Amino acid sequence: MPKPEGPQFFGRRKGRPLRTQLKTLMQTKLSHVQMPATAESLANLPQLFPHAPDDIYLEIGFGGGEHLAALAAGQPEAGFIGAEPFVNGVASLLRHMDERALQNIRVWPDDIRLILPSLPEASLAGAYIMFPDPWPKRRHASRRILNQDMLDALATLIRPGGHLRMASDHPEAKIWLLAEAMAHDKFTWQAETPSDWQNRPKDWPQTRYMAKGDREGRPSSWFDFIRN
C-alpha cells in the first residue's frame, strides 16, 4: 500500500532480528489489524473495529505495547489505535494482543504524523504520549513529538472533554511536555496538587520506560490534560 509522504522520523525503526514467533506474527497478524492509510478509508474509525466502539483512544509511540495492551484489556468496549515505527515494538504489541486475545486494537506501524491529517475531526476520546524520546538538546528540539503543530492536530481530533495524557521520567522532557501543552488554549492541565502529577493514576498502566526510569532512580511524572 503506498504510504503518505510526511516529516522525517529520527528514531530507530529496527532492532535485533525478530525471533521466529514474532516474525510469524508480523507476517500473519499485522495485516488484519493494520490501520489503512488513506483519508477515505479512515473516514469512519469505529468501523475499523469489530464492535464499532463509541470511544477510541490513540497511543503515540507505544514502544513494546504493554501500556496499550493493558488499556485495551481494561476497556474492551473501547477501541485503541497504536502508532509505533519501531518494528520490534510492533511485533511485541502483536504478541501481547495474541496472548491476551485482544480484538480492540488497530495498529499504525509507522510515524503517526503520516495519518494524523487524515483522521476525522473529534473522532478520539483521548490520546496518550508515554515517555516520549526526550531530545534534550536545544538543537534537537524540532524532533520532539509534542509541539504546537501536534497539539493543533490533537485538538482537532480529541473531542471536547476528552483527555491528552502524557508521562515522562526525563527532567527535560517533563518540562517541554508541560510547557507545550500549557501554552495551547485548547488543553487544560487537570492537576490541583503535586500528588496529581507525582503519582501514577490507577487507570494508567505501567510502561517499559517507566520501569527503566524507576530502576535508574528517575521518578516519573503524569500529566492529564482535558480538551476544552
Ligand X SMILES: C[S@@+](CC[C@H](N)C(=O)[O-])C[C@H]1O[C@@H](n2cnc3c(N)ncnc32)[C@H](O)[C@@H]1O
Closer Cβ to ligand X, 52 or 211, answer by number: 211
Residue choice 131, 176, 187, 222 for contact with ligand X (CB under 6 A): 131
Closer Cβ to ligand X, 9 or 189, answer by number: 9
Look at phi and psi of residue 103 and say left if phi exceeds 0, alpha if psi is from -120 to 50, else beta.
alpha
SS3 string of the chain?
A: CCCCCCCCCCCCCCCCCCCHHHHHHHHHCHHHHECCCCCCCCCCHHHHCCCCCCCEEEEECCCCCHHHHHHHHHCCCCEEEEECCCHHHHHHHHHHHHHCCCCCEEEECCCHHHCHHHCCCCCEEEEEEECCCCCCCHHHHHHCCCCHHHHHHHHHHEEEEEEEEEEECCHHHHHHHHHHHHCCCCEEECCCCCHHHHCCCCCCCCCHHHHHHHHCCCCCEEEEEEEC
Closer Cβ to ligand X, 63 or 79, answer by number: 63
What is the nearest approach in angstroms of ligand X to the Cβ of residue 228? 25
Closer Cβ to ligand X, 42 or 52, answer by number: 42
CA–CA separation, 121 vs 125, rounded Å? 11
- Please tell me whether residue 173 binds ligand X under the rule CB under 6 A: no
Concerning whether 133 is annotated as a catalytic residue, the answer is yes
- Please tell me whether residue 187 binds ligand X under the rule CB under 6 A: no
- Please tell me whether residue 136 binds ligand X under the rule CB under 6 A: no
- Please tell me whether residue 62 binds ligand X under the rule CB under 6 A: yes
Identify which range of 28-36, 99-107, 194-202, 206-214 contacts ligand X by CB under 6 A: 206-214
> From the candidates 55, 98, 133, 196, which is the catalytic residue?
133
Structural contact between residues 226 and 163, judged by C-beta atoms closer than 8 angstroms:
yes
What is the nearest approach in angstroms of ligand X to the Cβ of residue 214? 12
Closer Cβ to ligand X, 118 or 188, answer by number: 118
- Please tell me whether residue 11 binds ligand X under the rule CB under 6 A: yes
Q: Map the footprint of ligand X across residues 72-111, applying CB under 6 A.
A: 83-86, 89, 111
- Please tell me whether residue 208 binds ligand X under the rule CB under 6 A: yes
Q: Which whole-number Å values give the CA distances from 220 to 48, 161, 175, 223, in the listed order?
A: 34, 25, 12, 10
- Please tell me whether residue 207 binds ligand X under the rule CB under 6 A: yes
Identify which range of 42-50, 183-191, 204-212, 217-225 contacts ligand X by CB under 6 A: 204-212
Q: Which residues are catalytic?
A: 133
Give the residues lining the site for ligand X (CB under 6 A): 9, 11, 60-63, 83-86, 89, 111-113, 130-133, 145, 207-210
